[in-house]
Chain A
Amino acid sequence: SQTIHQWPATLVQPVGSPLSLECTVEGTSNPNLYWYRQAAGRGLQLLFYSVGIGQISSEVPQNLSASRPQDRQFILSSKKLLLSDSGFYLCAWNRGGRSYNEQFFGPGTRLTVL
């Protein structure tokens, strides 16, 4: 069966510090991968998605970036965190291809920027 991991589970970082959140998927190959953010009182905002190694699509302008160095690894980064980067970050995957299928989410990372 497929599983998705995210770490760390919680993170407290000062403003201006760098960020690296990691997501890995097991039990599948060539997944589509997604990063979302859920800010307080808001829905799930799609940040990045990837259909393959090295292929990243960005949804919103921001100081975050994403990379996919391996097929089942997705990394969310920032060089300098802002207060507004605080939120709950979720990684998700679904099967690649042209058919509709549901996304499966990881457990999330709670980021607090002070």
Chain B
Amino acid sequence: DQQVKQNSPSLSVQEGRISILNCDYTNSMFDYFLWYKKYPAEGPTFLISISSIKDKNEDGRFTVFLNKSAKHLSLHIVPSQPGDSAVYFCAAIEEASGTYKYIFGTGTRLKVLA
């Protein structure tokens, strides 16, 4: 039972245009979300996060939007660059005994074409 879903396994975008990566979740108790970027044979690196009390968080070229009623979040990258080509994972944080668990989606492979 996948609580965090990324329904698009891949996305291709022209350099300079906007990349939009989507993520849906099922558990309304999640109240913090993150996006990670992963290159092949490396560990993921943190990109940006958002609390459920907000609907937007921006950091440079990266903006995350949260629609809590739709249980949907998206990552916008503007303008897209070839170096952005990677797999992007969204994650939701769930409270667990003594700590928090991170529930990851299946990832979306972004390819930015020069």
Name A residues whose Cβ lies closer than 8 Å to a Cβ of B.
4, 32, 34, 36, 42-46, 49, 51-52, 55, 57, 59, 88, 90, 92, 94, 96, 100, 102-108, 110
Contact = CB atoms under 8 A, between A and B. Distances in A.
B46 A43 contact: no
9 shortest A-B CB distances, which residue pairs?
A105-B43, A43-B106, A44-B104, A102-B46, A51-B98, A100-B32, A51-B99, A32-B99, A43-B104
A64 B104 CA distance: 20
A113 B100 CA distance: 31
Contacts, number: 62
Interface string B40-68: 01111110010100000000000000000
Contacts of B97: 51, 57
Interface of B: 6, 32, 34, 36, 41-46, 49, 51, 89, 91, 93, 96-107
Nearest to B103: A46
A107 B100 contact: no
Main secondary structure on chain A at its contact with chain B?
Answer: strand
Contacts of B41: 88, 108, 110
Contacts of A108: 41-43
B99 A49 contact: yes
A32 B106 CA distance: 23
Given A57-B96, A100-B32, A100-B93, A46 B101 contact: yes
Contacts of B34: 102
A99 to B, nearest CB: 9
A90 B41 CA distance: 10
Contacts of A57: 96-97
A43 B42 contact: no
Contact of A43 (B43, B49, B99, B105): B105
6 contacts: A43-B104, A46-B102, A46-B103, A49-B96, A100-B93, A110-B41
A82 to B, nearest CB: 22
Contacts of B49: 100, 102
